[in-house]
Amino acid sequence: MRRMIAGAALALMSLTGTATAEDYPERPLMLMVSYGAGGATDFQARIVTMTAGNEDALGMPIAIINKPGAGGRVGWNWFATQADPDGYTLAAYNVPHFIAQSIKGGVEYSADSFEPIANWGADPAVFVVGADSEFNSMEDVVAFAKENPGKLTVSGAGLFVGHHIAALQIDKAAGTKMAYIPTKGGGAAAMKAVIAGEVMGGINNLSDAFRAQEAGNVKILGVADLERNAFLPDVPTMMEQGLDVDNSSVNFRGVMVPKGTPPEVIEKLSATVPEMFANSRVAKKMEAGGSPMHIMTRDEVIEMWAQRQQTLNELLAGL
Amino acid sequence: MDFIYYFGDVFTPLSFMLLLGGTIGGLILGATPGLSPTMAVALLIPFTFQLEAAQGLILLGAAYTSTVAGGAVSAILLKIPGAPANIATTLDGHTMAKQGQGARALQLSFLASAVGGVFGVLLLIFLTPVLAKWALAFGPSHLFWLAILGVTVIGTLDSASVVKGLLSGCIGLWLATIGFDDIMGAQRFIFHPALGGGINIIAALIGLFAIPQVLTMFAKGRHNTGAEVIEVQRHSILEAFRELFSRTRALSIGTLTGSIIGLIPGVGGQIAGLVAYDQTKKFSSEKDKFGTGHSEGVIAAESANNAMVGPSLVPLLTLSIPGSPTAAVLLGGLLIHGIFPGSDLFDNHPDVAWTFINSMLIGQVLMCVFGLYVAGLAARVAQVPQSVMAAIVLALSVFGAYSVQGSMGDVYVMACLGIGMFFLERFGFSAAPLVLGLILGPIAEANFIQGGMIADATVGKASYFLTGGLNLLLIAVVLASIAYSVWMELRHRRYTTKEEAQA
């Protein structure tokens, strides 16, 4: 009798042992977004996870939890130190934001604290000015900045986010010094400052700037990316306008888990999640909202993180 | 008159069902502690994925208007303000409920909400282009002065003495500095990991208002539970109507203040109710009755926070800039259907735009009807024995604080602030000025830093903050507000010393 129970227990143990990897996920998952409800990251996270409950995806829904504050530092601090590495707690990452913040210090995370799963979107930074501004190209902007050092006010979503990185790169490439004005309240507040004429120009997300241009409120002068964007085929890149600005400031958004998550869970997620992003319904909604998609697998993201780490180390070393 | 043309769309069977569902659901969500209008609307977004654009927005619009009004239910009956908008409602509303007049307070609050709300939406319909210019006129320097204007209100708000009001305001301002500073990213006063995100305003509200009264109820012990059962008075709706329209001063001040403040991006919703309450008190002939269950207080606060709903959407609908967190969530609801707010919305999708706005108009009326219906029933909550009530409020408080971001940290913050406030109240301090400090601190600070950076790069701080018509106007109002408080305090002191001398 005793042997039978022991055998049954053993069989059960081995069963549950394999079951954790195979049956995962067996309950709904949580995705932490370190920006407020309604922001671009939150909005996109809600779209790309909407099919998670489908049988061909994870088979379990993903709930979004917002932990906003200090340009994402609050949420990522929480994720690095307090989130359970059980595969049920995911987070959205924003590169270059969290890498730049970890280089500048004062936070409890670095790229080594997290394991990337997959990337869903890439939103380049663009340079915008008010619709009635006298600037019509980056050349005009740089010329003004050279004549008036420190006087060209440029708004952006915060310090050490993609917008700030783009501003630093423009300064470095053109040998200028712009007055970068971080705003509280993210890209929307920075855009409002441009439209209302509180600042002379701004650096903002391509998706938000595209909308503002459609509404006739701003002009977009340049894209900080390697190639022109499908949403804005007429707007030249910074490189085309003679500024040596690469794609370091492009805001990559994707999903990650904390370090220490079981490898079989990571494997399962990194196989399923890119498929989930590629769903045609997701693509349609993202396209409608003016959000550029860019799906990358785990290996590609690991490489991209390492590249960013290196460029940002160099760029921020002088500050 | 486009909006009349599209009125029919609201009354198609499916649309009207959604409108009803949104309104009733919104009332329930709004009355749930910890669920702010922003979160309620965010929760509904996934449902709109399956709907057409206009129908999705009907659901969201109806939910937005009724969650704001629904917050009054928990504010009045349980003294748990569901959102910052409802803080001022607790001051007189909860006192009325304790006196057995919960039904009257709820009826007045729903009627005032409807009047304010309809006015706000009408402003949105008729004056949007003009208002959009106004919304943009407020830059960092103006928002800074506006926050300072709010600080001058602190001293006179719901306090026995100006000094104690200012002191609790200062505690609030200090609490507001905890956490990462939003612009520079510096860490301040983070004693515990739970404070990394700063003090969450919803958790703080629950702690500061609900916990002290729970402790008071527990402190009274079990022996007098039977004796304290309150007789809940019935109150006819007709009488509530009559009372509302005899209080035209409170109603008009509340509605106007709410509409104007609601328009200003980033400030609006949080302080509309409190500022309207304070202004009504200053202009009232019965100042002393405020805080003791005076109906003017409820009317002013509730008409203001619903009047804010319409104008708060002006920057979103015309300029595609969300002026408040809730507007940001609504933006998501539009984008998901490929509709960009701004000229695209009104030129290419007028059916969506106007159906959405109309649904808010009808939603206000429906919200009022349902609100009045439940008012009589809900007021019976006051009959629950105190010991049971204390347990229920405590459970709801913990649930509410936890649900904001799904974290125990907020529950600890709520408990600590609540216990602290319990002792502060014993020394005559009150929670409203403290909360106002907590709300205004970050607004004043961020705008001062941001304005300062712009000023340093351009014209210099002095001329940036101290010149220009709107700056000077706001400074004048700030000075007038301070002078008024000083004058009232002096007059009050002279009277009391005279009485003391006679006695």
Give yes or no for B348 touching A (CB within 8 A).
no
Subunit contact A290:B456, Cβ cutoff 8 A: no
- The residue to which tokens 């408990």 are assigned: B415
Mean pLDDT of B451-479: 91
- For strands A153-156 and A201-205, give the pairing: parallel
Scanning B32-139, the segments in alpha helix (DSSP H) are: 37-48, 53-78, 87-98, 102-137
Subunit contact A81:B137, Cβ cutoff 8 A: no
| pLDDT tier for residue B83 given thresholds of 50, 70 and 90 | confident
Scanning B395-414 for CB atoms below 8 A from A yields: 405-407
Asked if residue B10 has pLDDT above 90, the reply is no
**Mean pLDDT for chain B?**
85
> Which of A128-137, A257-266, B404-413 has the lowest average pLDDT?
B404-413
> What residues pair up with A32 in beta bridges, in sequence order?
A65, A91
Which of B182, B184, B454 is facing A198, going by the closest CB pair? B454
Mean pLDDT of B137-155: 86
CA distance A179 to B195: 31
Contact B299, B116 (CB under 8 A): no
- Number of A:B CB contacts under 8 A? 166
Shortest CA gap B482–chain A (Å): 29
Give yes or no for B228 touching A (CB within 8 A).
no
CA distance A40 to A58: 24
pLDDT at B281: 87
CB contacts of A68 in chain B (<8 Å) are 197
A182 vs B134, residue with greater confidence: A182
Subunit contact A150:B457, Cβ cutoff 8 A: yes
Subunit contact B198:A69, Cβ cutoff 8 A: yes
A269 vs B133, residue with greater confidence: A269
Share of chain A above pLDDT 90, in %: 61
pLDDT at B499: 58
pLDDT at A19: 44
CB contacts of A43 in chain B (<8 Å) are 331-332, 335-336
- The residue to which tokens 């009485």 are assigned: B499
Question: B140-154 and B162-177 helices cross at what angle (nearest 10)?
Answer: 140
Subunit contact B185:A106, Cβ cutoff 8 A: yes
Q: How many CA atoms within 13 Å lie on the side-chain side of B375? A: 30
> What residues pair up with A181 in beta bridges, in sequence order?
A155
User: Which one, of B320, B137, B458, lies nearest residue A196 by Cα?
Assistant: B137
| pLDDT tier for residue A284 given thresholds of 50, 70 and 90 | confident
| Chain B interface disruption, residue of A44, A177, A181, most B CBs within 10 A | A181
Contact B2, B354 (CB under 8 A): yes
b (16+ CB within 10 A) / e for B172-204: bbebbebbbbbbebebeeeeeebbbbbbbbbbb
Minimal-distance CA residue of chain A relative to B338: A288
Cα-to-chain-centroid distance, residue B444: 18
CB contacts of B196 in chain A (<8 Å) are 69, 73-74, 77-78
Contact B62, B359 (CB under 8 A): yes
pLDDT at A287: 85
Mean pLDDT of A196-218: 90
CA distance B482 to B489: 11
Subunit contact A289:B338, Cβ cutoff 8 A: yes
Count of CB atoms situated within 10 Å of the CB of A101: 26
Contact A169, A239 (CB under 8 A): no
| Chain B interface disruption, residue of A132, A198, A291, most B CBs within 10 A | A198
CB contacts of B405 in chain A (<8 Å) are 65-67
Mean pLDDT of B235-247: 86
The secondary element (H helix, E strand) that includes residue B187 is strand B187-188
Minimal-distance CA residue of chain A relative to B456: A151
List the structure tokens of B196: 């990394």
ipTM field = 0.83
The secondary element (H helix, E strand) that includes residue B188 is strand B187-188
Asked if residue B378 has pLDDT above 50, the reply is yes
Subunit contact A151:B341, Cβ cutoff 8 A: no
Subunit contact B340:A215, Cβ cutoff 8 A: yes
Subunit contact B193:A77, Cβ cutoff 8 A: yes
Question: B248-263 and B295-307 helices cross at what angle (nearest 10)?
Answer: 30
pLDDT digits (tens, 9 = 90+) for B177-226: 998 887 777 888 888 877 877 888 888 999 999 999 899 888 876 655 44
pLDDT digits (tens, 9 = 90+) for B288-336: 888 888 999 999 999 998 999 888 888 888 887 887 888 888 888 888 8
Asked if residue B227 has pLDDT above 50, the reply is no
Minimal-distance CA residue of chain B relative to A77: B196
Give yes or no for B441 touching A (CB within 8 A).
no
Shortest CA gap B203–chain A (Å): 14
Instruction: Kindly give, in sequence order, each residue whose CB lies less than 8 Å from that of residue B480, ignoring residues fewer than 6 positions away.
Output: none
CA distance B286 to B300: 14
Let me know how long chain B is: 503
Residue type, A99: I
Subunit contact A46:B315, Cβ cutoff 8 A: no
CA distance B88 to B274: 5
- What does the DSSP assignment read for B349-361? -HHHHHHHHHHHH
Shortest CA gap A9–chain B (Å): 36
Contact B225, B386 (CB under 8 A): yes
Provide the sign of the torsion angle of the four alpha carbons A96, A97, A102, A103, taken in this order: positive
> What residues pair up with A92 in beta bridges, in sequence order?
A255
pLDDT at B8: 80
pLDDT digits (tens, 9 = 90+) for A47-105: 899 888 888 888 898 988 888 887 888 899 999 998 999 999 999 999 999 999 999 88
pLDDT digits (tens, 9 = 90+) for B31-45: 887 778 888 888 888
Contact B322, B330 (CB under 8 A): yes
Question: B53-78 and B325-335 helices cross at what angle (nearest 10)?
Answer: 160
Subunit contact B185:A70, Cβ cutoff 8 A: yes
What three-state secondary structure class fits B180? Answer: strand
Asked if residue A15 has pLDDT above 50, the reply is no
Please state the pTM of the whole predicted model. 0.86
SS (H, E, C) chain A: CHHHHHHHHHHHHHHHHHHHHHHCCCCCEEEEECCCCCCHHHHHHHHHCCCCCCCCCCCCCEEEEECCCHHHHHHHHHHHHCCCCCCCEEEEEEECHHHHHHHHCCCCCCHHHEEEEEEEEEECEEEEEECCCCCCCHHHHHHHHHHCCCCCEEEECCCCCHHHHHHHHHHHHHCCCCEEEECCCHHHHHHHHHHCCCCCEEEEEHHHHHHHHHCCCEEEEEEECCCCECCECCCCECHHHCCCCCCCCCEEEEEEEECCCCHHHHHHHHHHHHHHHCCHHHHHHHHHCCCCEEEECHHHHHHHHHHHHHHHHHHHHCC
Subunit contact A69:B182, Cβ cutoff 8 A: yes
User: Which one, of B327, B326, B379, B313, lies nearest residue B110 by Cα?
Assistant: B379
CB contacts of A216 in chain B (<8 Å) are 342-343
| pLDDT tier for residue A137 given thresholds of 50, 70 and 90 | very high
pLDDT at A17: 42
The secondary element (H helix, E strand) that includes residue B474 is helix B469-502
CB contacts of B454 in chain A (<8 Å) are 153, 179, 181, 198-199
List the structure tokens of A81: 């130190």
pLDDT at A14: 45
Share of chain B above pLDDT 90, in %: 23
pLDDT at B428: 85
Which domains does chain A carry?
Answer: 20-122+251-317 (3.40.190.150), 125-241 (3.40.190.10)
Which of A30, A81, A185 is facing B266, going by the closest CB pair? A185
Subunit contact A196:B137, Cβ cutoff 8 A: yes
Which of B180, B330, B450 is facing A73, going by the closest CB pair? B180
| pLDDT tier for residue B497 given thresholds of 50, 70 and 90 | low
CB contacts of B331 in chain A (<8 Å) are 38, 43
Asked if residue A116 has a cis previous peptide bond (ω within 30° of 0), the answer is: no
| pLDDT tier for residue A10 given thresholds of 50, 70 and 90 | very low
Minimal-distance CA residue of chain B relative to A66: B405
List the structure tokens of B275: 């500022």
Mean pLDDT of A259-277: 93
Subunit contact B336:A285, Cβ cutoff 8 A: yes
Give yes or no for B456 touching A (CB within 8 A).
yes
CB contacts of A106 in chain B (<8 Å) are 185-187
Minimal-distance CA residue of chain B relative to A102: B185
Mean pLDDT of B224-249: 75
Give yes or no for B336 touching A (CB within 8 A).
yes
Which of B196, B442, B457 is facing A179, going by the closest CB pair? B457
Subunit contact B328:A216, Cβ cutoff 8 A: no
Give yes or no for B454 touching A (CB within 8 A).
yes
Count of CB atoms situated within 10 Å of the CB of A21: 14
